[in-house]
Amino acid sequence: MTDAFDPDNQEHQKIKAEIEIGDGLPDIRLTGKCLEALKQAGFEVIWEKDLAVDSPLPWYLPLDKSRISLSSFRLTAAGRFVTRNLVKVLEYTGLAPAGSQRVQDFLEKAAVGLVEGEKKEIFTPMYFFLARNLLTEESR
């Protein structure tokens, strides 16, 4: 989560929960908290950056259901409707295991959460850092 995430904002909390549940993630930390943890663990942060900030194309475009594209039809609102109902039929007939519809539902919610998280600038999957372990440096 970016530092713009407000833990007291219900909408932010909902988006965060959708991402965590749908992507099978534990409690997602703020980027600033990640840097603090690195330093407390004995690392020197050499470089850190959210690469999504300067990206010429938003990373979430393939997940954005408002975009219409033949190559990503399954991700559009109509494509998700078709997929949802196809999974429902497959599960009902026994061709898909029980629970498939539930899994499809939370994966779809995760996609919505990812897109909304980026649009509100509270989530990024492109935060990178380079750090050096000071403990191993001292032992040399």
Question: Does residue 140 lie within any of the structural domains?
Answer: no
- Cβ distance 70 to 137 under 8 Å? no
Question: Does residue 5 lie within any of the structural domains?
Answer: no
Question: Does residue 90 lie within any of the structural domains?
Answer: yes
Question: Does residue 113 lie within any of the structural domains?
Answer: yes
Question: Does residue 41 lie within any of the structural domains?
Answer: yes
Give the global pTM: 0.77
Q: Looking at the 3D structure of the chain, how many domains does it have?
A: 1
Per-residue pLDDT tens over the stretch 3-60: 999 999 999 999 999 999 988 888 999 999 999 999 999 999 999 999 998 888 888 8
Question: Does residue 82 lie within any of the structural domains?
Answer: yes
Q: How many CA atoms lie within 13 A of 132 on its CB side?
A: 7
Question: Does residue 2 lie within any of the structural domains?
Answer: no
Per-residue pLDDT tens over the stretch 97-138: 999 999 988 888 888 899 999 999 999 999 999 999 987 755
Q: Which domain holds residue 41?
A: 10-134
